[in-house]
Amino acid sequence: MSMRLLLDNDVIFTPRESLALALKTGVEEAERRGRIIIEVQGDGRPLADELLAAPPDNASGIHELKLISADPKLLVAETLMQAADSLRLARQHQSAASDKFLANDTDGALDEVKNAFSVWQAVRDAFEKSAQVLGTHLFEIRFDVGNGETRTAREDVDALTAALREVRDAMESQDWSALADAMEYGLSGVVDRWEVMLTAIARTVREGRAGGSPKA
């Protein structure tokens, strides 16, 4: 059975009878064009995860395989801006946690701490994966923070690590007063730093000043 292979709207080779070979060819062509694959469709529908994980050496009943690509720099810039926007949720959960601790609602406060941690985990993952996708060390990009001062992303990553360690230590010792302060003040300052950092680096990447080459 023959299968058409498309990268975006371009037929790059036809026919193909191996899903594994078609995927490999499409990814390599995307790399050659300086792009990254963001979606794979088989006959107009997203390809099943099991086929992506272990593509067979036959067409698997697919008549048309389409790989959709994106400019990695624009993709990373958008990802970082979305991460920056999501930090408002972290701020809300942190403030709510502090308020509930002060109101002696420990269980409710701990739920808010978990919610804040979930947001932070997603934000940090987005930043780390962006560095992998772009193929450049975003941690070392230096950006302007105003008043003639600059800093690197690594400094903000280290600030987050320190603040989360403070939260963890307070939780382990069940020092709810210290935990309330850590959520309201320690992590609050880190939200401010990361909003500035993510926005600045997204702008740097979008303008093509981050360097590096894309990774598939």
Distance CA 118, CA 169 (A): 18
For residue 136, the model assigns a pLDDT of 63
- How confident is residue 87, by pLDDT bands cut at 50, 70 and 90? very high
Q: What is the pTM of this model?
A: 0.75
pLDDT at 40: 94
* Percent of the chain at pLDDT exceeding 70: 94
**Chain segment 150-170, per-residue pLDDT in tens:** 999 999 999 999 999 999 999
Largest CA distance in the chain: 68
pLDDT at 94: 93
Q: How far apart are CA 173 and CA 210, in angstroms?
A: 42
What is the reported pLDDT for 140? 87
Average pLDDT over residues 92-111: 92
Q: Tokens 């850590």 sit at which residue? A: 182
Check residue 17 and give its pLDDT.
83
As a whole number of angstroms, the distance between CA 199 and CA 96 comes to: 25
The answer on pLDDT for 116 being more than 90 is yes
Q: Reply yes or no on whether the pLDDT at 53 is more than 80.
A: yes
Cis peptide before 15 (omega within 30 of 0): yes
Phi, psi of 119 (to 5 degrees): -65, -45
> Which residue type occupies 212?
G
* pLDDT number for residue 212: 47
Mean predicted confidence (pLDDT) in 188-194:
92
Q: Is the pLDDT of residue 41 over 60?
A: yes
Token readout for 7 is 């990268």
